[in-house]
Amino acid sequence: MLSLSNVAQDSHVQYASNVRIGAEIRGEVCRHDYRLNEEIGIICRLCGFVSTEIKDVPPPFMPSSNYSSNKEQRTEEATDHKQDDDGLDTLSIPVSSRAPSSSGGGEGNVWELIPDLGKKLRVHQKRAFEFLWKNIAGSIVPAEMQPESKERGGCVISHTPGAGKTLLIISFLVSYLKLFPGSRPLVLAPKTTLYTWYKEVLKWKIPVPVYQIHGGQTFKGEVLREKVKLCPGLPRNQDVMHVLDCLEKMQMWLSQPSVLLMGYTSFLTLTREDSPYAHRKYMAQVLRHCPGLLILDEGHNPRSTKSRLRKGLMKVNTRLRILLSGTLFQNNFGEYFNTLTLARPTFVDEVLKELDPKYKKKNKGASRFSLENRARKMFIDKISTVIDSDIPKKRKEGLNILKKLTGGFIDVHDGGTSDNLPGLQCYTLMMKSTTLQQEILVKLQNQRPIYKGFPLELELLITLGAIHPWLIRTTACSSQYFKEEELEALQKFKFDLKLGSKVKFVMSLIPRCLLRREKVLIFCHNIAPINLFLEIFERFYGWRKGIEVLVLQGDIELFQRGRIMDLFEEPGGPSKVMLASITTCAEGISLTAASRVILLDSEWNPSKSKQAIARAFRPGQDKVVYVYQLLATGTLEEEKYKRTTWKEWVSSMIFSEDLVEDPSHWQAPKIEDELLREIVEEDRATLFHAIMKNEKASNMGSLQE
């Protein structure tokens, strides 16, 4: 059961007896400031308006039950003092318990706890299921488990995008709560993947309640209307209703074996330490002190040392964490260290013990902050620098040290052939620019400053101009590099499809796909090209937005995104093409109706492209998926491509048993894609400079199992 619209029957206003409940509460005359009067009810202290009579105010929110077989047992992370820095009594917050249930079952092993779900898991998921139990509890046999042991710690599931990490975690949580009903798992996920969790929970009909904390805007759009109807007498105010919804779901989570699900943004908002409101402080304490198990979906995202989100997650008072990622290594080894430390806080000590011979003497009494900084430096100096070496022997030594440190808590799955997916072919197309494009791109490239790198506005203009020259008009910064008359002259070329090499390719490919009844998924980093293609499709094909052509971008609300994806996936539906922002649609989303994927521009981070491809190439796909990465030859895009292939190579080296060939020079010996071959033959060398094929990614089923 996923609690998405539970009735806020409990007002839980005891915590707001001397606090203003909502700063934005407004009446027609009075700006109401509601308080709880124990004789009258919920009353505005300014005008005396009674919102809820005392007879309708339910008992206090704070539950005292710990629903554990051993109510006195507390985790070793539990605080010893009576109050924390904000003055609230931390001991009044029920702390998670890892005391095993006497009636949880699983006397033989943990597979007995999920007889139905266990049958749904594939080979790599079954291996990972046992890996999780061994890392979190020490064994798959209940009698041998040692959940309180200091050897137990966080772990990482690094399975390729689309490999079924959500089902794996759902299965683990169902089994874990049967043995440890007081563990209170908290699942945090990016906003884009919450809809996927929602659908998966419904799909598998799990026997554990899952309560979702909505973000403010999602609550307003999807829940508030029903809540107001079902809660007569409560202030009809979004902020108040949202707070009550959060409090109610936290109460349910605290009072029974269940799972709490929320987005990272909501977590960051609710754990703010500077809030003056008692109910906000209470919720922050609940989220910091109550989880006994923390699940971080796409946990590689908060990887920056300066990230507020990462700092907040490190304060969650449990060492039992599971970090999920389809693209664990992102940009560099510093970020990789941060990701591993987020998943396993004890990794700091493990690195220092392995790499610093004088660890105990040097670090005695040091702060956690200084220890982490020192461990990060050692990690980079003694592992990253060695792996980057041109000497194969040294590189191998660095990889061996890294695998020794991480091999025990990272489960890697980079795909296989056992899932019988039809296949994947990834082509990188080095596009020749048209004459007008060439003039614009050369002018922009020549503006590159002497120092290393490109200003962001210059990078944006090159990216847009490489798609179609008209697009540079859509940015305010274009006036810094072009005269007004030059920009005005571009207006007449807006719908001249031959002047943009990437537009020309797209418009050559789509009619061929339509004849074969194949849907196309077009990814772009920027909104302007999405809008241009939308106009082009409307003008030349008569397609309508929301019917034949669908758009998915960041300003669309969460549940509306879900509806758009469902329309695209509808069998026999009218949709032909989806235009999607790569950042909006990059993680945890299934768009298997598409068998052709076009990446209009390049990314500095190769994991974004890999995530985008995995929207179509994942379980449920019944066609071969063809991917086209479009790059403008001789521009910044070519430089970005070389950089991203190096990152992919390093990532492959980290998780592979053998040295991996550098893929940056893979030329396609032959074009197996019939549609691409037709376009190349018709083009007569005017559109393409080179065509490369990623053989590793293009192996049948290489991204999945």
DSSP conformation letters of 635-651: SHHHHHHHHHHHHHHHH
* Predicted local distance difference test score (pLDDT) of residue 585: 72
Mean pLDDT throughout 45-63?
53
Q: Are 194 and 263 in contact (CB under 8 A)?
A: yes
pLDDT tier for residue 163 given thresholds of 50, 70 and 90: confident
* Predicted local distance difference test score (pLDDT) of residue 45: 64
pLDDT at 52 over 60: yes
* Predicted local distance difference test score (pLDDT) of residue 584: 78
Mean pLDDT throughout 426-443?
93
* Predicted local distance difference test score (pLDDT) of residue 218: 60
pLDDT one-digit tens code per residue, 28-46: 345 566 666 655 666 666 6
pLDDT at 447 over 80: yes
Q: Are 36 and 13 in contact (CB under 8 A)?
A: yes
State the Cα–Cα distance between residues 609 and 594, nearest whole angstrom: 16
107 three-state secondary structure: coil
| Mean of all residue pLDDT scores within the chain | 80
Q: How far is CA 642 from CA 295, 428, 429, 474, 665, in A?
A: 34, 12, 14, 28, 9
State the Cα–Cα distance between residues 350 and 344, nearest whole angstrom: 10
Q: 15-24, 282-291, 368-377, 463-472: which range is least confident on average? A: 15-24
pLDDT at 505 over 90: yes
* Predicted local distance difference test score (pLDDT) of residue 364: 67
pLDDT one-digit tens code per residue, 168-205: 999 999 999 999 999 999 999 998 788 889 889 999 98
Residue 634 CA from chain centroid, whole number: 33
The CATH number for 498-698, chosen from 3.40.50.300, 3.30.1330.50, 3.50.50.60, 3.40.50.720, is 3.40.50.300
The DSSP letter of residue 694 is: -
State the Cα–Cα distance between residues 609 and 627, nearest whole angstrom: 10
The DSSP letter of residue 91 is: G
State the Cα–Cα distance between residues 258 and 173, nearest whole angstrom: 9
pLDDT at 116 over 90: yes
Check for a shared fold between 90-413 and 498-698: yes
Q: 97-101, 241-245, 480-484, 692-696: which range is least confident on average? A: 97-101
pLDDT tier for residue 67 given thresholds of 50, 70 and 90: very low
Sequence-ordered list of residues with C-beta below 8 angstroms from that of 551, at least 6 positions apart, any chain:
530, 534, 545, 564, 578, 579, 580
Query: Which residue type, as a one-letter code, is found at position 235?
Result: P
Mean pLDDT throughout 305-309?
89
pLDDT tier for residue 217 given thresholds of 50, 70 and 90: low
Sheet holding 34-37, edge to edge: 34-37, 41-44, 50-53
pLDDT tier for residue 269 given thresholds of 50, 70 and 90: very high
Containing 227, the helix (H) or strand (E) segment is helix 224-230
State the Cα–Cα distance between residues 266 and 215, nearest whole angstrom: 5
Q: How far is CA 114 from CA 124, 171, 320, 493, in A?
A: 17, 7, 21, 61
Nearest to 263 by CA among 235, 305, 296: 296
Q: Are 591 and 569 in contact (CB under 8 A)?
A: yes
pLDDT at 611 over 90: no
pLDDT at 654 over 60: yes
Q: Are 258 and 252 in contact (CB under 8 A)?
A: yes
Which residues in 525-667 belong to E strands, given as ranges? 549-552, 577-581, 594-599, 625-632
Q: What whole-number percentage of the chain has pLDDT above 90?
A: 45
Mean pLDDT throughout 258-281?
91
Sheet holding 625-632, edge to edge: 549-552, 577-581, 519-524, 594-599, 625-632, 424-431, 688-693
The DSSP letter of residue 83 is: B
pLDDT at 684 over 70: yes
Most confident stretch, 361-370, 409-418, 420-429: 420-429
Torsion from C-alpha of 139, 144, 149, 154, nearest 10 degrees: 10
What is the pTM assigned to this prediction?
Answer: 0.72
Locate tokens 């995104």: which residue?
561
* Predicted local distance difference test score (pLDDT) of residue 81: 37
pLDDT at 83 over 60: no
Nearest to 296 by CA among 163, 160, 155: 155
Measured N-to-C along each axis, helices 636-655 and 392-406 cross at an angle, to the nearest 10 degrees, of 60
The DSSP letter of residue 471 is: G
Q: Are 326 and 299 in contact (CB under 8 A)?
A: no
* Predicted local distance difference test score (pLDDT) of residue 168: 96
- Specify the higher pLDDT residue, 103 or 436: 436
Q: 92-96, 421-425, 454-458, 665-669: which range is least confident on average? A: 665-669
3-state helix, strand, coil in the chain (%, to 5): 45, 15, 40
DSSP letter for each residue of 57-71: --S-S------SS-T
State the Cα–Cα distance between residues 528 and 18, nearest whole angstrom: 49
Most confident stretch, 265-269, 381-385, 647-651: 265-269
State the Cα–Cα distance between residues 636 and 629, nearest whole angstrom: 15
pLDDT one-digit tens code per residue, 219-248: 555 554 554 444 555 555 677 788 888 999
CB atoms within 10 A of CB 39: 6
Sequence-ordered list of residues with C-beta below 8 angstroms from that of 392, at least 6 positions apart, any chain:
659
Mean pLDDT throughout 253-277?
92
pLDDT at 495 over 80: yes
- Specify the higher pLDDT residue, 587 or 596: 596
Mean pLDDT throughout 635-652?
83
* Predicted local distance difference test score (pLDDT) of residue 484: 92
Q: Are 636 and 433 in contact (CB under 8 A)?
A: no
Q: 269-278, 331-340, 346-355, 601-610: which range is least confident on average? A: 601-610
pLDDT at 591 over 70: yes
Most confident stretch, 68-72, 125-129, 212-216, 687-691: 125-129
State the Cα–Cα distance between residues 28 and 12, nearest whole angstrom: 26
Domain ranges of the chain: 90-413, 498-698
Q: How far is CA 591 from CA 138, 208, 597, in A?
A: 37, 28, 10
Sequence-ordered list of residues with C-beta below 8 angstroms from that of 280, at least 6 positions apart, any chain:
270, 272
Sequence-ordered list of residues with C-beta below 8 angstroms from that of 529, at least 6 positions apart, any chain:
464, 467, 468, 471, 600, 601
The CATH number for 90-413, chosen from 3.30.2130.10, 3.40.50.300, 3.40.50.10810, 3.100.10.10, is 3.40.50.10810
* Predicted local distance difference test score (pLDDT) of residue 627: 96
Locate tokens 């002047």: which residue?
499
Residue 120: left (phi > 0), alpha (psi -120 to 50), or beta?
alpha
* Predicted local distance difference test score (pLDDT) of residue 609: 85
Mean pLDDT throughout 589-594?
91
pLDDT at 139 over 70: yes
* Predicted local distance difference test score (pLDDT) of residue 390: 78
Nearest to 223 by CA among 210, 198, 241: 241
| Cα atoms in the 13 Å half-sphere on the side-chain side of 257 | 23
pLDDT at 488 over 70: yes
- Specify the higher pLDDT residue, 586 or 121: 121
The structure tokens listed for 704 are 């999945």
State the Cα–Cα distance between residues 287 and 271, nearest whole angstrom: 7
- DSSP H helical ranges for 407-547: 435-445, 456-467, 484-489, 501-515, 527-541
Nearest to 152 by CA among 176, 174, 123: 176
Q: Count Cβ neighbours within 10 Å for each residue of 142-178 and write b for 16 or more, e otherwise.
A: beebebeeeebbbbbbbbbbbbbbbbbbbbbbbbbbb
- Specify the higher pLDDT residue, 77 or 476: 476
